[in-house]
Structure 1
Amino acid sequence: MQATRRALLASLILPGLAHAQGAWAPDRPVRLVVPFAPGGSQDVLGRLFAQTVSQAVGQNVVVENRAGAGGMLGAEAVARAAPDGTTLLLATAGQLTIAKAIGRRLSYDPIADFAPILHLSDSPVALLAAPDLPASDLGRLLEHCRRAPQPLPYASTGIGTNTHLIMEDLKARERLNIEHVPYRGAAAAFNDLMASRIALMFVSVPSVLGFSGGQLRVMAVTSRVRFPAIPEVPTMIEGGVPGFEASIWTGLAAPATTPAPAIERWRQEFARALESDLVRSRLASLGAVANGSGPAEFGALLRDDLARWTRVAAPLAVRLD
């Protein structure tokens, strides 16, 4: 009886061991291309994942910062790399959906030239209102913007950015009488918002959490559910804008035609890192939450995102090149 049990146990365990031993593994150091300069939130995330995953795969995962052209230089480097599983891209919408949606001239196709691996994290944006606007909640704010006799100025962190396109989407859906005033970053826009020189703006949750210049009127967030760091703030959906969600997402991708075993190994290892207390606590400090959706779901997000921002950008005639 004991021999039979041992044989049965071996039959269950050994195939799993054989599969694990035969799984694809990198045979040389791996590049994780971060398409931004060192020191920013994406660089922090990239280095955190690289450190965690290196230990698991037995090879160094080295962060390579390839900043420039809104992240497109880094994406181009990955798209042209050998599809052997040793080059990865820490991707955002800026390179893989928004750039094409606003008509940037690209040397790569953001859908066809990449293999999606994992949707790593999401950070919603927050809708802010000037102190003197006569609105106590989102519904009243939107009604005020509809009825304004002259267009109310709203800020963004630049033409063709997430914050610009998200507001234009809201403007079209809710028929708001607002006009765009682009800024080079959130800090100057915050000052003008607090002085009521602008009326509205969308800004990343980390920027809200890090603001120390006074009390901001945070009207809503664009996540599906309330965001853990600011649970008192309702969502756009709760405020009366059905289905309105938006995220500054981060994902992992590889060159197209990277072998499926390599894609699956990286999905497993980065998903495992995403579940670690270290990564989750750091995400929270950066105003983000873990996602963990795999290649099929992440690929669907890319296609949906591209379609959404192409529709929003079409009437804007954005010209950046």
Structure 2
Amino acid sequence: MIGRRALLGAVIPGAALAEGWVPDRPVRLVIPFAPGGSQDVLGRLLAQGVAGPLGQQVVVENRAGAGGVLGAETVARAAPDGLTLLLSTAGQLTIAKAIGRRLPYDPIADFTPILHLTDSPVALLASPDLPVADAPALLRYAREASRPLPYASTGIGTNTHLIMEDLKARQGLQVEHVPYRGAAAAFNDLQAGRIALMFVSVPSVLAAAGGQFKVLAVTSAARFPATPEVPTLAEAGVEDFEASIWTGLSAPAPTPAPVVARLAAAFTTALGSALVRSRLDLLGAMPNGADGAAFGAMQREDLARWSRVAAPLGIALD
């Protein structure tokens, strides 16, 4: 694969390597999820907002399957000419490798990080039947439980699973994993008291407005604008514990630096536009905007963190 990429890089037209590169045909943004979800909505919103700054139309292509791996593979195998991009998440680039999935690409070496787009914090929820009123009380209750409290996740090896396992290890919680296929069924059992607690994305919480459960904390560094009444875990006394469902923009390696810079500038402009900003809160997302170097460093840290968390769990998905 490296040899093929080197050859592809050698045949990129000289104009593509020049400062001020502008794509000569529509750019393809691969979204590794089915239409309709929050990531799809975000990708389409950015595609609409970036057309002007980029000087070219951005066409969205949904390539769902295998937890997003099929879409990521499509981009990893594309020519590194700036015309095929990936709306990337941890599910394809860090968690997938951390839990030992057999991947048809190297999630670090086979992609060029362009921009850290957004972060969605994760919310800590508790059953309405649980005798706790805030996150510190919940953590005490879970530490002192005589038998493990059942906690839900949106699936084995997902971020909601690993985030709780990380908190469990750090706080000495007596909790036991119960995986679900998505958030809806988990919400039902949480409200019915069959599940004691769970982490879930803020977009899922916003979509379930009116649900009978306790929202006790978020995992972001600061309170989330759409839920200002919900404290952070740091405020609850859990120091140095942050987690987010991040979204970024990635390209095949080795996309030339001038092309990456042009794409980063255009998508940064779109990310700061009134069109995009007006919708982010509704999507449960916060703009990030870190450049490719910082985004790449974050991915390596993310991979190391979830690899440490997943190692003792013995996850086997393939």
Shorter-chain TM-score tier: over 0.9
Aligned to 2:107: 110
For residues 260 and 123 of structure 2, what CA distance do their matches in structure 1 show? 34
Q: TM-score, normalised by structure 1?
A: 0.92
Partner of 1:140: 137
Q: Supply the AA of the counterpart residue of 1:318.
A: I
Instruction: Write the mapping of 1:241-280 to structure 2, written as runs, cut at 5 A.
Output: 241-280=238-277
Report if aligned partners of 2:117, 2:249 keep a CA contact under 8 Å in 1. yes
Q: Aligned equivalents of 1:197 and 1:106: distance in 2?
A: 35
> What is the CA distance between 1:60 and its match in structure 2?
1.8
Q: How many angstroms apart in 1 are the aligned matches of 2:50 and 2:222? A: 30
What residue identity is the alignment partner of 1:47? Answer: R
Structure 1 residue 281 displacement after superposition: 1.3
TM-superposition CA deviations, 1:284-306 (whole Å, max 9, x none): 11011100000111011100000
User: RMSD value over aligned CA atoms?
Assistant: 1.1
1:10 maps to what in 2?
Answer: none
Tell me how far apart the structure 1 counterparts of residues 209 and 82 of structure 2 sit (CA, whole Å): 43
Residue 3 of structure 2 corresponds to: none
Aligned-partner SS, 2:260: helix
Distance across 1 between alignment mates of 2:19 and 2:111: 25
Partner residue, 2:120: 123
Q: After the TM superposition, which residues 79-118 of structure 1 pair with which residues of structure 2 at under 5 Å, given as runs?
A: 79-118=76-115
What is the aligned-residue identity percentage? 74
Counterpart-to-counterpart distance in 2, 1:228 and 1:89: 27
CA distance in 1, matches of 2:140, 2:260: 48
Which structure has the larger Rg? 1
1:218 has 2:220 as partner: no
Match of 1:8 in 2: none
| Equivalent position amino acid for 2:150 in 1 | P
- Structure 2 unaligned spans of 5+: 1-17
Match for residue 197 of structure 2? Answer: 200
Residue 292 of structure 1 aligns to a residue whose secondary structure is coil
Partner of 1:292: 289
Gaps in structure 1 of 5+ consecutive residues:
1-20
- The number of aligned residues is 301
How many Å apart are 1:46 and its aligned residue?
A: 1.2
Amino acid at match of 2:235: E
CA distance 1:22–1:153, shift in 2 (3 Å):
closer
Could you list the per-position Cα deviations for residues 41-84 of structure 1 after superposition, in whole angstroms to 9, with x for gaps in the alignment?
11111111112212222322111111100000011111111111
Indicate yes or no: 2:159 matched with 1:157: no
Moved more, 54-63 or 234-243: 54-63
CA deviation profile, 1:91-127 (whole Å, cap 9, x unmatched) = 0000000000000000111111111000000100100
Q: What is the Cα deviation at residue 212 of structure 1?
A: 4.2
1: CA distance, partners of 2:244 / 2:28? 26
Three-state SS of the structure 2 residue aligned to 1:124 is strand
Aligned to 1:240: 237
Higher mean C-alpha deviation, range 222-231 or range 129-138:
129-138
Structure 2 Cα separation of the partners of residues 284 and 82 of structure 1: 35
AA paired with 1:200?
A: L
Deviations 1:106-154 (A, max 9, x none): 0111111111000000100100011122222211211111111111100
Other-structure match for 2:44: 47
